[in-house]
Structure 1
Amino acid sequence: MAIREILEAPDPRLKIISSPVEKFDDGLKTLVDDMFETMYDAHGIGLAAIQVGEPLRLLVIDLQEEDPDAEPEACEHDGTKHTHQPVINDKRVFVNPEILDPSEDTGTYQEGCLSVPDIYADVERPARCRVRWQDLDGKTHEEEMTGMLAVCIQHEMDHLNGILFIDHLSRLKRGMALKKLAKARQAA
């Protein structure tokens, strides 16, 4: 496994429409492992293959809920000792996903994106959607998704179609977000 570079806006590769996955082989499994490692390293909950430069219809999600029954774990970051609640991983892989039946009722959630770091905005999306996808063995699955999972799958599927979450914002808000991103890059 390897941590890959995450492409950041305005990288033109993020506007590429991804191609279907045709080979369900060890290379695909390695890419998925790298994507999870990259996503965890960046403290994300979802990642599309195009975000690591691979224009394939592939995404990974792990909403990582805290485990209320586990004992808090001690850890040290930047020389500071503290405890945190262990998480329950829910690693999900979606190959060639498609939304079949988005609901007409919508919900608004504050979204962020690893390709648009430190920018957050409210985005309105269908509250529910039925999704069909393949797993790493090519087997087809279908599921009705709601809540954060519905938001995350729609956000990540946008990436497969060359759309960033800021593309859902008004022109003014999108411009402000990109200006803030450029300013943060200059300061770094």
Structure 2
Amino acid sequence: MAIRPIVRFPDFRLRQKAEPVGDIDEDVRALARDLAETMHAAPGIGITAPHIGVLRRLVVIQLESDREPHIYIDPDIVWSSSDMIRHVEGSVSMPGVTDELERHARVRVRYRGLDGVGREEEVEGLMAVCLQHETDQLDGIFWIDRLSKLKRDRLIKRFEKLQRIRA
């Protein structure tokens, strides 16, 4: 396992659509392990392969209550509830800034596990928020694209200021 460098905003790769994983081999399993380790080191609760510059549809999520990370290969949200929730979001690619977004309270996701078996599960709350956030990333939608232009511009300025301070 290895901690990989995280692609930072505004890198163009964060707005590119990821390709399906295809066959699940040892390289894919190693990528999932690296993503989990990179996510923990960031720290974060969710990460995608594009966050480390690999344009493949692979997501790792581990909430505080989870013993092990959840691995989603080629995830597809197939249903979303009509009820919405608000949650503060951020990104390992844009550390130090967050904002509140509205997302569906429950979603059903179809995906494959590392064993290649197709699965479908319905989740709610923070896990639903994370899956929508990370699936957006796989589709080339960076989380700040869901903010109003005014909020997005303010957040980008705040992030740029943080980067200058850290430099």
**1: distance between equivalents of 2:137 and 2:74?**
13
* Corresponding position of 1:33: 33
1:183 aligns with 2:161: yes
- The runs of at least 4 consecutive aligned structure 1 residues that moved more than 4 Å come to none
**1: distance between equivalents of 2:156 and 2:8?**
11
- Select the structure that is richer in strand: 1
The letter for the 1-side match of 2:134 is E
Structure 1: tracts of 5 or more residues without a match: 66-87
**1: distance between equivalents of 2:44 and 2:93?**
10
The letter for the 1-side match of 2:68 is D
Identity of aligned residues (%): 42
**1: distance between equivalents of 2:98 and 2:69?**
24
The letter for the 2-side match of 1:134 is R
How many aligned residue pairs are there?
166
Deviation at 1:91, TM superposition (A): 1.2
Show CA shifts across 1:75-116 (max 9, x none).
Answer: xxxxxxxxxxxxx52311000000011111111111111111
TM-score normalised to structure 1 length: 0.86
Superposition RMSD on alpha carbons, in Å?
0.9
**2: distance between equivalents of 1:177 and 1:117?**
11
* Corresponding position of 1:81: none
Structure 2: tracts of 5 or more residues without a match: none
* Corresponding position of 2:125: 147
Bigger Rg over Cα: 1
- Select the structure that is richer in helix: 2
**2: distance between equivalents of 1:36 and 1:142?**
21
Give the counterpart of 1:161 among 139, 145, 150.
139
